[in-house]
Chains A and B, each alone.
Chain A
Amino acid sequence: MTVLSRGLITGLIIGMCLVNYGLRIVPLSVLSRVQLPQAVMRWLDYIPVAVMGALFATEVAIPALQAAATPAGASGHIALWLNPGIYGALAAMLAFRLSRSFIGSTLAGVAVFALLQWLLAI
């Protein structure tokens, strides 16, 4: 696992604070006074789900494709239909659909992922 430099860590702590607080407090304090154009509000309305879709691709789909593209027999090769990440994500989505609980669905996803990972290692 990559170890970050002290300067990068300090920069992350300060920068993350400024970026995140800016994203939250500026709209909250400014927009409680003005009205955003309808087109901007519609664009913002799509941003959350678009981010989650893109995150699904980079965190689940692409690693799964990379594992499947590794030559069979080499370490790290997992056939697409056996990939623990795909089933873990589906379990989390199904669990949220049923329970509307972030805790429950996160734990369900992790449990399915860990179980399949363990079964594949046997």
Chain B
Amino acid sequence: MRSGFPIFLGYLPVGLAYGILAAQHGFTWWEAVAASGAAISGAGQFVALSTAAASGSLVAALVASGIVNLRYVLFSATLSPHVRRIRALPMAWLGFTVTDESFAVNMAEIKRGTATPLTMAGVGAIAWVGWVLGTLVGALGAGRIGDASRFGVDFAMPAMYAALFVALAQNRRHVICGVGAAAIALGLYACSRVGLAIPQHWFIVIAAPVAATLAVLVFKPSGRDLTGEDAP
């Protein structure tokens, strides 16, 4: 459970950035805290916010963030064989707090044999508190901090995506698929430059599933696919 503490430290600044951004988009401090406390979804919340601001459409914002967070399906599916004996209430909390980082820490403890329902719930709780506390401070301080962009705060998420790319690219096939998805998104951008306008908030929604489907079709199945132990 103590291994959840780095997550707390990591979520504070990113939660802070979200709090500032939400406040600048018209959220009150308690609305920003409610949004973070109810969703606990870093990248998904940023994407929803920018999609809502760009399109004014709630459905587009929810679809975009749902696509970004499709990876939670994989995380939960990967965790599921290990939580068969956990009762309904701890299971409900565990599901609520699945994030990239809590998933990574919990899987590491499961493999080490040190995970219990209590430690897994604790990791989730630490992550939740860090994320919500960061959001609270950011939303309350937004006015005083002023134009936060000069501190590079708005680059926190792109920087985390770049780090997550490296973390999630466990083998050569993953790298090719990720680069392919980026290329498809750039291709869609090129289309919109020559007149075939596709709204930019749909790029991720289109590029990621297409690249994943191509990867499944092109790469032959191997038993090592899901373990990520394929030599890079």
Contacts and interface: CB of A to CB of B under 8 A. Distances in A.
Contacts of B76: 23-28, 31
Contacts of B31: 9-10, 13
B98 A57 contact: no
Interface string A1-15: 111110011111111
Contacts of A92: 159-160, 162-163
Contacts of A119: none
A42 to B, nearest CB: 5
Contact of A62 (B48, B74, B200, B209): B200
Candidate in B79, B182, B186 with the most chain A CB atoms within 10 angstroms: B182
A1 B146 CA distance: 13
Contacts of A44: 70, 73-74, 77, 212
A9 B54 CA distance: 14
Interface residues of B, number: 100
B103 to A, nearest CB: 10
A26 B223 CA distance: 26
- For chain A, give the interface size range: 35 or more
Interface stretch (B35-43, B109-117, B133-141): B35-43
A37 B216 CA distance: 13
A17 interface: yes
Contacts of A111: 152
Contacts of B44: 16, 20
A17 B37 CA distance: 9
B107 to A, nearest CB: 13
A38 interface: yes
Interface string B53-82: 110101001100111111111111101110
A12 B61 contact: yes
A119 to B, nearest CB: 12
Contact of A57 (B66, B203, B225): B203
18 contacts: A13-B38, A25-B76, A28-B79, A28-B94, A29-B95, A41-B77, A43-B216, A45-B225, A46-B211, A48-B168, A50-B181, A51-B204, A53-B181, A54-B208, A55-B204, A58-B200, A59-B158, A92-B160
